[in-house]
Structure 1
Amino acid sequence: MEQHMEHNGPFCQSCGMPMPEQDLLGTDREGVKTEDYCKYCYENGEFKQPDITLQGMIDLCAGYLVQQGFAEADARGMLAQTLPLLKRWRQAGTAS
């Protein structure tokens, strides 16, 4: 089931976080803001956690969603369905 968010603006293509404000955007190698990734995932053209796996990102993000009031099982289920569709994880190939 597709969920609709109530904001405009890009979503981080690594963690899925909404980025409605410019100060949440990551930066490329020249320090220019990019709408592909948030500042928590991407800075100066590099991922801050280059070796994190998709499962690791789900684990990390689930903790933040639980803090925001989501049930852990719901958070993990939503992340497991949405994160594999994002640019960072699509490029990594499919899990077997």
Structure 2
Amino acid sequence: MPMEKDPQLGGTEKSGEKSEMYCSHCYEDGEFTAPHITNTKEMQAFCIDIMKKQGWNSILAWIFTRSIPRLKRWKK
């Protein structure tokens, strides 16, 4: 999700600071909010669902989530 579209403008670190990398739906208090999501396809589906609930077009949501595999969380 583009940070500027996140209602909270980003998740939070343990210190309370805003995360510059993860949105508020995925990251809170320095932890991922959905530890059951174990791969990029699941994360992309999770994010698309949230974005569609916010009124995003399915195609645009998919386009914006294509970068998920490049996030630090998913790099090995």
Match of 1:70 among 38, 44, 58: 58
Q: CA offset at residue 23 of structure 1?
A: 2.9
Residues 1:25 and 2:13 aligned together? no
**After superposition, where does 1:48-59 map in structure 2 within 5 Å?**
48-53=33-38, 54-59=40-45
Structure 2 spans left out of the alignment, 5+ residues? none
Q: CA offset at residue 65 of structure 1?
A: 4.9
- Please report the TM-score for the alignment, with normalisation by the length of structure 1: 0.57
Q: Percent identity?
A: 39
The CA RMSD measured in Å over matched residues stands at 2.8
Structure 1 spans left out of the alignment, 5+ residues? 1-16
More strand by share: 1
- Please report the TM-score for the alignment, with normalisation by the length of structure 2: 0.68
> Take 1:37 and 1:51, find their aligned partners in 2: how far apart are those partners?
17
Residues 1:85 and 2:59 aligned together? no
